[in-house]
Amino acid sequence: MNMPDPQAMASAWMAQMTDPSAWQAMFKAAPLDASPVANLLKDAGATIPPQALESLRNDYLQKAAGLWQEFLAGKTPALSDRRFAAPEWLSNPMSAYSAASYLLNAEFLTAMADAVEAAPREQQKIRFAVQQMVDAMSPANFLATNPEAQQKLIETKGESLTRGLANMLTDMQKGRISLSDESAFEVGRNVATTPGQVVFENELFQLIQYTPATPTVRQVPLLMMPPCINKFYILDLQPENSVVRYAVEQGNTVFLVSWRNPDASMGTTTWDDYVENGAVKAIEVTRAISGSDKVNAFGFCVGGTIMSTALAVLAARGEQPAASLTLLTTLLDFQDTGVLEVFIDETQVAMREQALAKGGLMPGRDLATTFSSLRPNDLVWNYVQSNYLKGKEPPPFDLLYWNSDSTNLPGPMFCWYLRNTYLENSLKVPGKLTVAGAKVDLGAIEAPVFVYGSREDHIVPWSAAYGSMHILNPRNAQANRFVMGASGHIAGVINPASKNKRSYWTNDQPPAGKGKSKAKASVAPAQEWLDGATEHKGSWWPGWAAFLADHGGKQVKAPAKAGSKAYPPIEPAPGRYVKVRAD
């Protein structure tokens, strides 16, 4: 089943809008009907039980009749959807009725998708595809049916339309929708500004050592591994929301991997290379420069998957370099991959393998499109409405600037990752995979772990992040700690302690497992953890800082300069690699 692509829908929308004849067509408001869903179900070979369909149809007709009667009586319908929150929607009876009709139709189509008789994964794909179509057909997305945009057109005497067309044409040249004022930011100038030096580089990464901010530091250094799917500076946006700067200010000697943005020369790079020449090498250099046998290892998202794999490889070689392991929104057990499951099946993975397994690049733009499709109203249609229909310039926003700074991935590495983790979930099985010549057993890593998951994460469900608690450090599980934060995949992580925003949950009881009572045997471990958890206001960062302090060793004098005789500084942070753009 082909997945609707919101970025492609928006691109097609943009292409149509550059055709003058399309503007006339925009003023013909076509009703939303069920035929797209019917065609989708036919393509997927899925059906809806006749009785369920009849019930849905009757419910729809009853609500539609009620809505029409309210319109004839001059009653303005309630619009709870934030897309229609502006007063222009309610002040215009036709616009209010259009929005209410759309919401009713959307409810009906979504209910149709939910009523499909299919396997859970197939049903999720159908519901996802339907949601993409429903979101794309919102009346807020078209000038003819968006009263906010129409009012703006009148107030500016057509200037908003001129600006909107200019914004749209600029984005068409870029090949992507602008989410932020990109001229407001520059890597190394006002994002990724924590002082430091690049002390090592190879074909895969640069290693940054950050300048200490305290007279003394803990003896065990912190080695941070961000995801290679994005740039590292999500962890070092601006001083007030930088995880890196916070860790430095807490008295840690901080090293960080800055992955290279792959070009054609890296088209044959493998997962083994990322583990051996990336993570293992970074651990080696960090130990050599710091003089510490141990490191406090850290991984964010797929960076955590790479770091954990590397530590398992080293364990198989008889080495235990980690004093502790921190994993933020990381999957080791890929049983539940959230909405990303709609993109992962044998057919789709085999297609990628055929195209990329022997060489080539997975373009960063394609990866960005995939992630945008998970939140199309927030990351696609919101900007179609604002940038194009209303002619506004997107405001500067560091996180969205980073979100648009995409990275490529080597084809062989990407294909291995898809098949062995997302599709076959083999990484968690001791000895099933061989990486860098070693059998991988994550349970052989002898280090306490701090695992973080975000409650509203659509990429790594918090319960899936919790699954790492039963894989890592099984012989000393009571030393492991899990924390759940509010918000999503990124916003939950980037929650500075100084802001005292949001909240987080902790539970000091040992993870569910051996020794639990039969009364709790049927309760999922993650849910059991949540049932006993306590909510705290503010950031989870101080709790993580305390965890690092517990495993940081004694206090020593902060190093006067970065690097060592064997690894002299190469250039100031953030280095060259992070500045290379995929587009």
Catalytic residues: 301
Measured distance CA(204)–CA(278) in Å, rounded: 6
Which neighbouring-strand residues pair with 482? 451
Q: Which residue in this structure is represented by tokens 């960090």?
A: 286
* Cβ neighbours for 189, distance < 8 A, ≥ 6 positions apart: none
Q: Which residue in this structure is represented by tokens 């007279």?
A: 215
Q: Which residue in this structure is represented by tokens 């099984």?
A: 474
Which neighbouring-strand residues pair with 222? 254, 296
Measured distance CA(348)–CA(343) in Å, rounded: 7
Amino acid residing at 147? P
Kindly state the tokens that stand for 413.
């590495």
Kindly state the tokens that stand for 98.
């259009």
Cβ atoms of 150 and 143 within 8 Å: the answer is yes
3-state SS, residue 527? helix
Nearest to 207 by CA among 191, 220, 221: 221
The burial of 156, by beta-carbon neighbours within 10 Å (0-12 exposed, 13-18 middle, 19 or more buried), is given as middle
Nearest to 379 by CA among 407, 363, 399, 362: 399
Measured distance CA(124)–CA(128) in Å, rounded: 6
Cα–Cα distances in Å, from 450 out to 160, 250, 327, 550, 567? 50, 17, 6, 12, 30
Cβ atoms of 211 and 195 within 8 Å: the answer is yes
Cβ atoms of 387 and 168 within 8 Å: the answer is yes
Measured distance CA(267)–CA(362) in Å, rounded: 9
The burial of 521, by beta-carbon neighbours within 10 Å (0-12 exposed, 13-18 middle, 19 or more buried), is given as exposed
Cβ atoms of 129 and 6 within 8 Å: the answer is no
* Cβ neighbours for 228, distance < 8 A, ≥ 6 positions apart: 259, 274, 278, 302, 303, 306, 407, 409
Nearest to 63 by CA among 108, 109, 130, 116: 108
The length of the chain is 583
Nearest to 167 by CA among 156, 158, 179, 157: 179
Cβ atoms of 477 and 512 within 8 Å: the answer is no
Q: Which residue in this structure is represented by tokens 């206090």?
A: 555
Measured distance CA(423)–CA(344) in Å, rounded: 6
Measured distance CA(191)–CA(177) in Å, rounded: 21
